[in-house]
Amino acid sequence: MTYDPHDTRRIPVGTQVIALNGEVLGTVREIHAHYLLIDQPGRHLDLDVPVHAIREYTGDALHLSINREATTEVDHEETVHRHVDDAPAPEA
């Protein structure tokens, strides 16, 4: 079993993400050990949110202990390419 202190394995992709001030930031695009990527509808950039900023998961929304200003915007196209480039080569 993988160590998951923030219990991120129970958070489904597509879950709505709400900042501390009540602003809806978007939806969970990807879940990683130390951060989440949040899809911002209508925007090219995703938000990188550290998992330690998770305040509560209610089953239909993920509530954060931070506001948008404390997140980092990342280019989701570069993120996709990074994952593809980092993937192990197929065995021959």
* Residue-range domains of the chain with CATH: 10-86 (2.30.30.240)
Going residue by residue through the chain, which has 92 residues, state the pLDDT in tens, using 9 for 90 and above: 567 777 888 999 999 999 999 999 999 999 998 999 999 988 889 999 999 999 999 999 999 999 999 999 998 666 554 544 454 555 55
Nearest Cα residue to 36 out of 54, 23, 10: 54
Question: What CA–CA distance (Å, rounded) separates 5 from 7?
Answer: 6
- pLDDT value of residue 91: 59
